[in-house]
Amino acid sequence: MQLVRFCLVALSVISGCGSEDEDALAANRNKWESSHPDSYVIRVCSTGFAAEACEETAVREGEVVAARARFFDEEWVERDLAEVAEPVAELFDVAASADCDHMDVEFDKTYGFVSNYRCTAGTEWSGETVECFAPNTTDLAACSSSQ
Give the right CATH number for 10-141 from 2.40.128, 2.50.20, 3.90.1150, 2.60.40: 2.50.20
Task: Give tens-digit pLDDT for 19-69.
Answer: 677 889 999 999 999 999 999 999 999 988 766 799 999 999 999 999 999
Give the 3-state secondary structure of residue 1.
coil
Helices H / strands E in the chain, number of each: 2, 8
| Domain segments of the chain as ranges | 10-141
Task: Give tens-digit pLDDT for 77-113.
Answer: 999 999 999 999 999 998 888 788 888 899 999 999 9
Look at residue 4 and tell me whether its pLDDT is greater than 70.
Answer: no
Can you say whether the dihedral through the CA atoms of 63, 145, 93, 52 is positive or negative?
positive
* CB within 8 Å of 139: residues ≥ 6 apart: 41, 58
- What gap in Å lies between CA 77 and CA 23, rounded to an integer? 37
Say if pTM beats, i.e. exceeds, 0.85.
no
